[in-house]
Amino acid sequence: MRADRIVILDWDTMAFHRDELNARRFASLAAHVDIYPQTKPEETAEHIGDADVVICNKVLITKEVLDACPNVKYIGILATGYNNVDTAAAAARGIPVCNAGSYSTDAVAQLVFAYIFDYFQRVALYAMEVRLGGWEKSPTFSYFPYPTGELRGKTLGIIGYGNIGKQVAKIADAFGMSVLIATRTLPENCPYPVVTAEEVFRRADVLTLHCPLTEQTQGLICKRSLALMKESAILINTSRGGTVVEQDLADALNHDMLAAAYLDVLEKEPMSADTPLKNAKNCTITPHIGWTPLDTRKRLLDITEDNLRGWLGGNPQHVVNGVTAAQTE
């Protein structure tokens, strides 16, 4: 079985350089494939048109869009998160929404520890000091004006214990860190203590977020939770920007209530020029790069293609809105 028409709505989010990846790999799965570099909200229904398969990363697929595009039968997400799609509206129409699952587990866990090493080892800061001549002026053989620290014995608090949270915990364990887990669903056979979020806030030397953005996690990091944390703690967010109240975090950093924050996601992306975190003290922001290693994006495309092949064969994979194969017939 082949699709009639596949539309990819925001290919530029997948390939910053046009020759990195090939979107035409989907050509064997449909009579027609249309690829848009980007799609503005007002263009979404027009770009989808009569397509039966929609593939996108961050384009909003609302109930109104689905109402305007009655031929849509399948939505593939080029991501793990799927909060850009009205999954209930899709389910009501028998449209499966399929995400890419755990494609970025290793890459995001790697970024988390890049942040941790940056804070505790200060490699970039010391390299800059050497470049500026600081070591040349040192009266002793070793020049260490900035404090560094060992990971062993530090407490890593993880909120969210999905694939990424598990991988981060595994790496932390290898470095001799004490791991605490807070998660909405009690995991089976978890080798680490599972505690409340409040206890994680109080005890963590490093707090890292790996939870989806839901009504329960919206604004999770706020004045109340930040007040529970150690002044020496650092916060890492590679999940979703909406889990953090940005003004509250900026205030905590600027008033030395928290030692540092490392953020790969913000509530508004691309970053707004007036975000209070832009110039916040000891705040390091990267532009949502956790998922972007080329190896990772290739894996993402492989999963997305496999998901579509599964649906075309009557066996949808990684369905996030509960639509069964029988409902899609």
In order of 11, 67, 197, 243, 297, the CA distances from 21 in angstroms are: 10, 32, 40, 31, 8
Quote the pTM value.
Answer: 0.92
Which residue out of 47, 122, 240, 318 is catalytically annotated?
240
Q: Are 236 and 207 in contact (CB under 8 A)?
A: yes
116 with 260: CB under 8 angstroms?
no
* Mean pLDDT to the nearest integer, 14-19: 82
Candidates 288, 297, 299, 318; catalytic one: 288
Q: Mind listing the domains of the chain with CATH numbers?
A: 3-103+293-328 (3.40.50.720), 105-285 (3.40.50.720)
Which of 46, 150, 231, 269 is flagged as catalytic?
269
Q: What is the pLDDT of residues 145-157, one digit of tens each?
A: 999 999 999 999 9
Give the SS3 label for residue 53: strand
Q: What is the pLDDT of residues 269-315, one digit of tens each?
A: 999 999 999 999 999 999 999 999 999 999 999 999 999 999 999 99
Query: Residue 269 catalytic?
Result: yes
* pLDDT value, residue 132: 97
- What tens digit of pLDDT does each residue of 132-146 get? 999 999 999 999 999
Q: In the predicted model, what is the mean pLDDT of residues 234-258?
A: 98
Q: Predicted confidence band at 116 (pLDDT cuts at 50, 70, 90)? A: very high
Q: What is the per-residue pLDDT across 164-222, written as a single tens digit (0 to 9) for each? A: 999 999 999 999 999 999 999 989 999 999 999 999 999 999 999 999 888 999 999 99
Q: Is 25 a catalytic residue?
A: no
Catalytic (active site) residue 42: no
